[in-house]
Chain A
Amino acid sequence: MIGARSLLAAIRGPVLLLTLGLLMAADQLDRMSFSRTWPVLLILFGLFKLAEHLSSQDSQPNGPGETRA
């Protein structure tokens, strides 16, 4: 079984990259300037960290690596 934590850690990079690409595209098409939207990346990163933290806490009683995905 794959840990939720490691899955989160693995998809964090691609999701951030995807978001960065979307924000850049929005900036390029004059919809929203990247200088205004960049905090989205911070928020997203924070959410991921939070989710990882929570999932590792959940897994504490069973010991690491025992969590179900």
Chain B
Amino acid sequence: MRRASLVAPLLLIGIGLLFLARNVFPELQLLDYLAKYWPLLLVIWGGLRLLEILVWAATSKPLPMHGIASGEWVLVIFLCFAGVSLHAVRGFSAWLPGSRIELGGLDIFGESFDYPLSAEKTTGKTPRVIIESFRGNARITAADVASVKVTGHSTIRSLDQAGADRANQEAPLEVDGDANQIRIQTWQNRVSGSNRRISADLDIVVPKGASIEAHGRSGDFDISGVNGSIDINADSSSVRLEDIGGDVTMEVRGSDILRAAKVKGSVELKGRGSDIDLQDIAGQVTINGTFTGNSQLHNLAKPLRITTPYTEFNAEKVGEMRVTLGNLNGSDLTGPVRFTSSRSWDVNLANFTNSLEISMNGGDINLRPGLLPLAKMDVRNRVGHIELALPQDAKFDLTATSRLGSVDNEFGGPLKLEPTGRRGAILRGSNGGASVNITTDNGQIVVRTASATDIERPPVGKLPKLPAIPRAPLPPRPVEQ
């Protein structure tokens, strides 16, 4: 006859004793112990069973087919689930004040522990400040100092104080370097494991002439008053820059907003992200990548180049421009302005000069050149309407062709409709000015006289200011259990 194992009864007795203890001593935090030490149950279970089988084997008793029967495995799996969720629940906020839920992050459960950070290092007037593998928020300001000073705090999410303490020791703040280069290291990358998460809020004061280089997993940067260059490379980062003296390069794999205002150098944005907000940029602006949110560009003094997988836009100078999904609005553009896209766009341009070239797959185009002499135009659309409002005294050599649609002449004067075949229409006329060619395969073209409202009221009004990057809320103080 097969012998029954002694382990299952022993475990039952053990669990019974535990619950009895809980009933007799209610102040005993049994669930806490269970949440923490439940894996030991598995160890004891397996260990006892192993011992039992070895004893049976040594005494030549018949061995069971399987040391742990399938029913027991089911129990083990159940125990694992229960243990993991109990563990998670013990870290859950409602019972322990001081912990919070952070949605969107991996670790929903656990508590926040806070550790102050502070370090300083003397340096020269124009150091290169490098921030390495940083996660959190950094506010960088410049002052008339000859040192780099870092203050702030590190926030560690962990299920208990001991884990947080250990993480804090593993990730000390280090500020090191010489007169030319300062390296700020948080060593956050040393902290790993599914149960811990570390981030820091840093206030960094650098000399005015400093240039900044930052790379990290997800860091939000707020930099102002720095005269050197800014170079940010991050997986996920929102950046706000103001009063920057040098060139700005930002490469991100994800971002809520990249904002730069009052930059004396060039601005280069690369990667993927959402919103872009650029204002008063003295240097060239290059945007290369996919930014799917709202882009606002205001007062760009040098050429603008935007390259996305489907679209290309160039202008020599930009007064005001706003790009949202499928919508491009611009005014006060200095050409040559060039816009090509394999996608559909609604394009609205006012007060542009020099020359304009548009080639796109579909969408409506509304052009109000406004300024004289009239810009040279070459506009090609596959499907969509085109409306062109010309100033009364504009000089042009115009040809407007709709292959399948109609062309309306509301300008009068030198423009005349030419007879075509059964479909389409051509409007042509010249009074000896810039060549204007407008073509759509399928859609209506309207050429009209610009009215007073067209000139006075550009399509892009004063853009609302975007709100500042929200700063992460301060985590609560650690709680003694």
Contact = CB atoms under 8 A, between A and B. Distances in A.
A19 B39 CA distance: 10
A1 B58 CA distance: 10
Contacts of B38: 24, 28
Interface in A3-22: 6-7, 9-22
A25 B40 contact: yes
A60 interface: no
Interface string B144-170: 000000000000001100010010000
Interface stretch (B65-73, B287-295, B361-369, B434-442): B65-73
A6 B63 contact: yes
Interface in A21-57: 21-25, 27-28, 30, 32-35
B39 A24 contact: yes
A13 B67 contact: yes
Contacts of B36: 28
B42 A20 contact: yes
Interface residues of B, number: 40
Nearest to B83: A24
Contacts of A18: 42-43, 46-47, 50
Contacts of A7: 53, 57, 63
Given A28-B36, A30-B166, A11 B42 contact: no
Given A25-B40, A30-B158, A13 B49 contact: yes
B76 interface: yes
Given A17-B46, A21-B46, A22-B43, A10 B67 contact: yes
Contacts of B158: 30
Contact of A10 (B57, B73, B76, B196): B57
Interface in B55-99: 57, 60, 63-69, 72-73, 76, 80, 83, 87
Nearest to A19: B46
Contacts of B192: 33
A10 B87 contact: no
Contacts of A2: 57, 60, 63
Nearest to B72: A13
Nearest to A15: B50
B65 A30 contact: no
A14 B39 contact: no
Chain A interface category by residue count: 20 to 34
Contacts of B53: 7, 10-11, 14
B66 A20 contact: no
A53 B46 CA distance: 23
Nearest to A17: B46
B54 interface: yes
Nearest to B63: A10
Contacts of B29: none
Contacts of A15: 46, 50, 67
Contacts of B54: 11
Contacts of B40: 21, 25
A9 B66 contact: yes
Nearest to A26: B39
A10 B43 contact: no
Contacts of A12: 66-67
A19 B192 CA distance: 22
Nearest to B65: A9
A6 B72 CA distance: 19
B104 interface: no
B36 to A, nearest CB: 7
B67 A21 contact: no
Contacts of A10: 53, 57, 63-67
Residue among B39, B47, B66, B195 having the largest count of chain A Cβ atoms under 10 Å:
B39
B62 to A, nearest CB: 8
B253 to A, nearest CB: 23
A21 B43 contact: yes
Given A6-B63, A12-B66, A25-B37, 20 more contacts: A6-B65, A7-B53, A9-B63, A10-B63, A10-B64, A11-B53, A13-B66, A14-B46, A14-B49, A14-B53, A14-B67, A16-B68, A18-B43, A18-B47, A21-B45, A22-B43, A24-B83, A30-B196, A33-B192, A33-B193
| 3 A-B pairs with the lowest CB-CB distances in the bound complex, closest first | A21-B42, A13-B68, A18-B46
7 contacts: A6-B63, A9-B65, A16-B46, A17-B76, A24-B42, A30-B158, A35-B194
